[in-house]
Amino acid sequence: MNTVLTVDAVDRSFGDRQVLKDVSFTVTTGRLTGFVGANGAGKTTTMRIILGVLAADRGTVTWQGEPLTREIRHRFGYMPEERGLYPKMSVLEQVVYLGRLHGLSAAEARKRTLVLLDRLELGERADDHVQKLSLGNQQRAQIAAALVHDPELLVLDEPFSGLDPLAVENVLGVLRERAAAGAAVLFSSHQLDLVERLCDDLVIIADGTIRAAGDRAGLRDQYTLPRFRIEVGGDAGWLRDEPGVSLVDLDGRTAVFDLGDGAEDQQVLRSALARGPVHAFGPVRPSLAEIFREVIQ
Ligand SMILES: Nc1ncnc2c1ncn2[C@@H]1O[C@H](COP(=O)(O)OP(=O)(O)OP(=O)(O)O)[C@@H](O)[C@H]1O
């Protein structure tokens, strides 16, 4: 796994409104990087700068340490926010056409398109005009269009929005295969529950500023409070009087509590065991939604 894309200290304004401020993060091969932020946070603007559709006012985007050129960007695949397929062209024709624009021969483009459409469960719709497809299927066609030339970097703006759960699994499977084959994948989303499950690395943006970035497990460790959950055989009310414990939630036999400075989780466990059976005990790790709320404040 290598860091391939580096966004470094990028600023961008529209008129006198600065929408990106000192944006820096990296994207690594073999991994899915989720780019998360609320509406208007700056995800699409950042992606457009990576793709060269927009210029940065300041800062750089580099690929394997080199400034981006047209040739390098040709090896990227982009699914823009404004979906751009022609309604009156068949899915097959369209994806083949886009493959040819990326330098594939007609035969190769057709071969790859058919495989890809099958994999995206669109094989039977290959000859349908895009406008006849459901929105979810149009989206899958758009994903096929971004993937047909086997890009080294995939940049996908909200690829999962509007997909039903089975379609999400299907698209995710396809992206994972690409990552496993060595591509780097950056996708934006405002659906935290999805991102939490789907991505390996996370970049959180709010108001044009990167608030947190890193691998998912590392971020969760970093934001884990000294908070624990316990489930005992009897009533857990004794925890109220336990030194160093401050109860967050008490519900009969289960409790969630924070530990003060110097208090030991194992000491609490010993106290619990001295009172009877302990069925569960362990740290409470924050969800991505909780980390997100914390870092965007
Ligand atoms: N061409 C433009 N002209 C003026 N303002 C723009 C332009 N493009 C984006 N903006 C503004 O820049 C800010 C960031 O927008 P951007 O589309 O990057 O956010 P986003 O995180 O992708 O949000 P969303 O999830 O809603 O697409 C917003 O306030 C938006 O209104």
What's the gap in Å between 39 CA and the centre of ligand 1?
A: 8
What's the gap in Å between 139 CA and the centre of ligand 1?
A: 21
What's the gap in Å between 27 CA and the centre of ligand 1?
A: 22
Segment holding 117, helix H or strand E? helix 106-119
86 three-state secondary structure: coil
Q: Which tens digit of pLDDT belongs to each residue from 131-159? A: 888 888 989 999 999 999 999 999 999 99
Query: What atom in ligand 1 is closest to the CA of residue 208?
Result: 14
Output the ligand 1 site: residues, CB below 6 A: 14, 19, 37, 39-45, 81, 190
Residue from 14, 16, 188, 192 to probe ligand 1 pocket by mutation (most atoms less than 8 Å from CB) = 14
Beta bridge pairs of residue 227: 258
At residue 96, the pLDDT reads: 94
What's the gap in Å between 279 CA and the centre of ligand 1?
A: 49
What's the gap in Å between 200 CA and the centre of ligand 1?
A: 25
pLDDT band at 236 (very low <50, low <70, confident <90, very high): very high
Q: Which tens digit of pLDDT belongs to each residue from 6-48? A: 999 999 999 999 999 999 999 999 999 999 998 889 999 999 9
Query: What atom in ligand 1 is closest to the CA of residue 46?
Result: 18
- Atom 25 (ligand 1): residue with closest C-alpha? 39
133 in Cβ contact with 141 (< 8 Å): yes
Domains of the chain with bracketed CATH: 3-221 (3.40.50.300), 225-296 (3.30.70)
What's the gap in Å between 208 CA and the centre of ligand 1?
A: 10
Cα–Cα distance measured from residue 213 to residue 34, given in angstroms and rounded to the nearest whole number: 10
Angle between helices 106-119 and 91-101 (to 10 degrees): 130
What's the gap in Å between 80 CA and the centre of ligand 1?
A: 13
Residue from 19, 156, 158 to probe ligand 1 pocket by mutation (most atoms less than 8 Å from CB) = 19
DSSP string, 172-188: HHHHHHHHHTT-EEEEE
Q: pTM of the prediction? A: 0.85
In the block, residue with structure tokens 């509007």: 162
Longest dimension (CA), the chain: 75
Cα–Cα distance measured from residue 121 to residue 37, given in angstroms and rounded to the nearest whole number: 30
Average pLDDT over residues 60-82: 91
At residue 201, the pLDDT reads: 94
pLDDT band at 86 (very low <50, low <70, confident <90, very high): confident
